Chain A
Amino acid sequence: MIGSRLWLFQRISSLFLLVYIIYIALFFVNNNNISYFDWTLFFLSFETRVLTSIFFIIVLVHGFIGLWTVGTDYLTPRTLGLYSSFANIADSLRKIYQAFFVLLGLFCSISIIYLIWS
């Protein structure tokens, strides 16, 4: 049950991420020679700050599901068995990889949200 919910969330979240990226892209398409004033007026407006915050929270979950899937597909004793010395440490490698991407994702998303609201 949890697996299919993650699968579904991955797809639904991607739609929101897409809408946000189109929203940001439209700003660049509709404006030429963007100044600091134009950019901050748009990017630090209340609406954009709210959308950006939601975007980077959803990116964390969307990225987590994707990277977790990749990790459990490729960083396993079976797939690393090809390089036999790696097979024994495959589970540890996957844990390190998971910890790394969770910390990196949290760092980036929290930093961006902190930057735009401070």
Chain B
Amino acid sequence: MQTRPTFINLFKINLPITAIVSITHRLAGMYNFFITLPLSLYLVANSTKDKSSFDFLAQRISDDIFFGLLIIISFNILLYHILTGVRHLIMDLHIGENLQAARLSSFVVILTSLIIFLFSIGVYLK
């Protein structure tokens, strides 16, 4: 097993946009499980406990810019995972499976996520 040749120089592999969408869907999925899920636990715990902890949480989100950005980035990564996931689901139905359509849908998914991300950052910092 260990004598088989392996080539995994990540800096020499040039990924096409379809592969980038595929691998970042996985990475986003891992982020969601390890960061967004525990973050959701924290948010649910503090927002439902009582009124003072709800107000404290709301205040922290508007005052602590790193905390606010962590929430925005985390839920945008969740959104990215959803959009790329829906794209994969549509392709599982054999729709848009040819190279040209796959490239176009990758581009659309990345662009949509980027626009919503910048918009949400803008709304938060306003």
Contact = CB atoms under 8 A, between A and B. Distances in A.
Interface string B14-29: 0000000000001001
A72 interface: no
B67 to A, nearest CB: 18
5 contacts: A36-B55, A77-B1, A77-B2, A111-B41, A111-B45
B59 interface: no
Given A14-B85, A63-B37, A108-B41, A82 B8 contact: yes
A36 B51 CA distance: 6
Interface string B47-65: 1101100110000000000
Instruction: Assign chain B's interface to a size class.
Output: 20 to 34
B33 A101 contact: yes
B48 A44 contact: yes
A40 interface: yes
| Contact-size category for A | 20 to 34
A81 B2 contact: yes
The majority secondary structure among interface residues of chain A is helix
A87 B2 contact: yes
A70 to B, nearest CB: 6
Given A63-B37, A67-B30, A77-B2, A39 B44 contact: no
Contacts of A87: 2
A21 interface: yes
B38 A108 contact: yes
A115 interface: yes
In this complex, the member of B37, B38, B45, B78 whose beta carbon has the largest number of chain A beta carbons within 10 angstroms is B37
A78 B37 contact: no
Interface string A18-41: 100100000000000000100110
B112 interface: no
B42 to A, nearest CB: 10
B11 interface: no
In the complex, which of the residues A15, A81, A116 has the most CB atoms of chain B within 10 Å of its own CB atom?
A81
